[in-house]
Structure 1
Amino acid sequence: MATYHIRRMTLPEVQRIAVEWAAAEGWNPGLEDATGFYETDPEGFLVGLLDEEPIACISAVRYPPDFGFIGFYIVRPEYRGQGYGFQIWQAAMRQLKNRNIGLDGVVAQQANYRRSGFQLAYNNIRYEDKASGHRLQEPSDHLIPCDRLPIESIAAYDRRFFPTARPAFLAAWLRQPDSRALAWVDQGQINGFGMIRPCRSGFKIGPLFADTADLAKQLFVALIQELPAETPFYLDVPAANPEAVALAERYGLKPVFETARMYTQDAPAIAVSGIFGVTTFELG
């Protein structure tokens, strides 16, 4: 009789299983996402094995003190509908017990997530375009590479837009190879920052946080202006921020799909009006 059990994944398994399966699902993960994800919570990635063969995975990442985020919920197609996914889902929920849990789920699965206690906060929209030569009219001394700033300062600004402080995640995330991370700094204060990173297809922008729509535009153009012409790029925008939607549409980006941002408790008190690009659907 076949045996099914669930255990934590190693970093190589996160890359080989979770990230590769996400790519096969068309989620277009970043080339170096696995390391940053894993460093955030090395115990947060689970794999379900049937006779030691991986058939399901999920991430249940813990952010101190009391927030968690679920992602990478994938069951291999030939094993769906047999209860294996629900078992690994339950394991993830147990791991995040007593926390406010967030996720970005497929919109069509909202009813299933509601049955596990999740409530809709807002939808996120993925926009897509190809680089076409947008450039800043003139360089700005306010644009500073993030690696020249203390991670504590970046994390303090980031905290406005995320339910809890996440310096460990940001330290790993912002050092991805071949990425570009810029902050807007005025009189020593960060007023916005963003990052663009290489993915299986093209590049993704995330995060893109800013005090105003004009600063978001400056950061957006600065991030994409180095891309070769016709390179695909993506921006994940909260539908609850009309200025973010307007920014995407102003530059001709087209919506390609949506996710439902949901939480098990009250939606966190974050400044959605300053979120012009979601960091990542997998870890928030």
Structure 2
Amino acid sequence: MENKLLTIRPMKTDEVEIAVEWAAQEGWNPGLNDAACYAKADPNGFLIGLLDEEPIATISAIRYDSTFGFIGFYIVKPEYRGKGYGIQLWNAAMKSLTGCNVGLDGVVEQQANYQKSGFQLAYSNLRYEGVAGGDVQPDAAVVPLSDVPLDAIEAYDQPFFPVQRTDFLKTWINQPHSHALGIMENDQLAGYGVIRQCRTGYKIGPLYADNAQLAERLFLALKSRADSSQPVFLDVPEVNRAAVALAEKYGMTVSFGTARMYTQNAPALPLNRLFGVTSFEIG
């Protein structure tokens, strides 16, 4: 007997938590406020697949503008996998991003499957795990990001992402259970980072800085804001050797990896200044 067609529709705002909860069950360790933040990126960007009114599959297809989108949260409930339901939702998500260069962070073992849908590898990301906390000397150059004008933060953030993401950015840097810090040099913002509480421990992301020394000072300041009994995670582009060296200098070890892939040419991001990825789920 053929499988039924899924009913596919955009999630309501409160349903985004379903995708986040399933991500937690998959071991992806989402942040405590990820659902609210991600919904700001594109209120219609989360799709749900229902079978007889039962949610069985989720995916995010964030359309940032007419040129760029990002796929994430592609999850099918275990008992429904291998039955053709996931591909129905995948096709709907990709159709919603028609005309866009689409990015994703896929687990490495799925790379060949994504290539069949037109994705090509740009580089790999590595998730490093270490210990939070630590004592740091006061650093006058490290300031609460709330002390920095939003237009300066937006201007600094813009090169690190293919398109403007103002609504998401404002929510991300002001979310509960987090700390957002900037580092100043010559009265200009020279880097910023966010550490947020997750289901397990804390994640630092993004971590952007003009050079490795500034990144290290920000990293230590962010890490010191978290409970020293908890783990801390940092997702770094493997091609940024200084970012890899920073993580390993502080005893962090690789726990996970993804393949950053795009359907068109990889955006020209300043990966040498990108020391921590914002999110594997929405870019």
TM-score by length of 1: 0.96
1:169-180 superposed matches below 5 A: 169-180=168-179
Aligned equivalents of 1:39 and 1:227: distance in 2? 25
2:161 is matched with which residue? 162
Q: Which residue of 2 aligns with 1:4?
A: 6
Q: 1:88 to 1:2 in 2, by over 3 A?
A: closer
Q: What is the match of residue 72 of structure 2?
A: 71
Give the length in aligned residue pairs: 281
Counterpart CA distance in 2 for 1:132 and 1:150 is: 28
Report the Cα offset of residue 3 of structure 1: 5.1
Indicate whether 1:114 and 2:115 are aligned: yes
Gaps of 5+ in 1: none
The amino acid of 1:92's aligned partner reads A
Aligned residue runs from structure 1 range 3-82, under 5 A: 4-15=6-17, 17-82=18-83
Amino acid at match of 1:10: K
Q: Which amino acid aligns with 1:11?
A: T
Structure 1 residues 51 and 3 mapped into 2: Cα distance closer, same or farther (>3 Å)? farther
Amino acid at match of 2:282: L
Q: Deviations over 1:168-222 (max 9, x none)?
A: 1110111111200001122331110000000000000000000100000000000
Displacement after TM superposition at 1:49 (Å)? 0.2
State the shift of 1:227 in Å.
2.1
Question: SS of 2:146's equivalent?
Answer: helix
Determine if contact 1:151/1:170 at 8 Å carries over to the other structure: no
Whole-angstrom CA distance in 2 between matches of 1:131 and 1:197: 12
Q: Structure 1: how far apart are the matches of 2:150 and 2:190?
A: 15
Whole-angstrom CA distance in 2 between matches of 1:262 and 1:225: 33
2: CA distance between counterparts of 1:228 and 1:258? 25
Aligned equivalent of 1:103: 104
Q: Distance in 1 between matches of 2:249 and 2:118?
A: 37
CA RMSD of aligned residues (A): 1.2
Alignment of 1:239-258 (within 5 A): 239-258=238-257
Q: Does 1:128 align with 2:126?
A: no
User: What are the within-5 Å matches in structure 2 for residues 263-278 of structure 1?
Assistant: 263-278=262-277
User: How far apart, CA to CA, are the structure 2 residues paired with 1:153 and 1:223?
Assistant: 20
Q: 1:189 to 1:132 in 2, by over 3 A?
A: closer
Alignment of 1:226-237 (within 5 A): 226-237=225-236
Q: Mapping of 1:188-267 within 5 angstroms? A: 188-267=187-266
Aligned mates of 2:182, 2:37 — CA distance in 1: 20
- Measured after TM superposition, the shift of residue 37 of structure 1 is 0.5
Contact in 2 for aligned 1:3/1:51 (Cα 8 Å): no
Indicate if the aligned counterparts of 2:179 and 2:225 stay in contact, CA closer than 8 A: no
SS of corresponding position for 2:244: helix
Distance 1:212 1:71 in 2: 30
Q: Secondary structure at the match of 1:160?
A: helix
Which ranges of 4 or more aligned residues in structure 1 deviate by more than 6 Å?
none
> CA contact under 8 A between 1:152 and 1:167: conserved in structure 2?
no
